[in-house]
Amino acid sequence: MKRSEFLTASTLGTLGLGTGSLPLNSLSPRSDAQDQGRKILIAGGGFGTTFIKYMASLTGQRRPRLCYLPTASADRESGIVRWYENCAPLEVEPHVQESFINSYQMKETFEDVLLSMDGIVVSGGNTLNQQAIWKVQGIDEVLQKAWDRGVVLGGASAGSLCWFDEGTTDSRPIQLTKVQCLGFIKGSHSPHYDAEGERRPAYQRMIQSGEMKPGYACDNDAGIYFIDNEVERVVHTRADAKVYYVSVVGDQVVEEELPADMIT
């Protein structure tokens, strides 16, 4: 049995995917499934069961097909197992698309797989490596097609940063630096705003200097639901987790806190 088949079979067998779960329309404090447009749901860190549940409601499907894309974590097995664990209480059909593959492993193209999904969750990890691999494999173009077709995209950390023009990354040695990403969402992004001490000063410094565009900073457990390039809703799973719009007014950096709704 292949590694991915073993992980799927053993995890689902242990956890009983979908057993005793609630219908999707009871999972979110409000239903956004009818919103039209291209959809992205991000979190600064911690895209666990609650965020997956909310993404599922955004698809408008009773049992949506959700795919985990762990390129940034080099297809790490522990992350794949955690994905199935996080999906187990939900009425969803979980899938995984690895990027470190060979021709004999895959019977379908990346496009065949990803465009058949209702939602795609991107893992955390090394954003710089993720972007390089996506470009050389053409996954970046497939994700653009998925977004345009209404597949709900999302993730946390590298899985939130990847959708913006640019942002702060720890993907290079020594210090946080700027990384260019897919540009689906205009402006910049900083994840882990409250969890890593250097994130806030580095982000503010780059925006103030003009090195980086203004944009959105998310604490762990807080995130944003975008339709096209507009903020549709700000959410969190922890009361003190916050989201900010960071810009320059005059010569001063300004953080505007965006009011958030609790999701459970």
Active site residues: 157, 192
Looking at the DSSP bridge assignments, the partners of residue 249 are 252
- Report strand pairing: 243-249 vs 252-257: antiparallel
Q: Contact, 100 vs 74, CB < 8 A?
A: yes
Q: Which helix (H) or strand (E) holds 35?
A: none
Q: Is 45 helix (H, G, I), strand (E, B) or coil?
A: coil
Q: Which amino acid is at 12?
A: L
Decide if 210 contacts 200 (C-beta within 8 A): no
Parallel/antiparallel/unpaired status of strands 177-180 and 164-169:
antiparallel
Place of tokens 């292949």: 2
| Burial grade of 28 (CB within 10 A; 0-12, 13-18, 19 or more) | buried
The residues pairing with 230 across neighbouring beta strands, listed in sequence order, are 227
Give dist(CA 181, CA 173) in Å, integer.
19
Please give the distance of CA 56 from its chain centroid, rounded to a whole number.
13
Residue with tokens 């260019």: 180
As a whole number of angstroms, the distance between CA 45 and CA 188 comes to 16
Could you tell me the two tokens for 208?
A: 């103030």
How many other β-carbons are positioned within 10 Å of the β-carbon of residue 229? 12
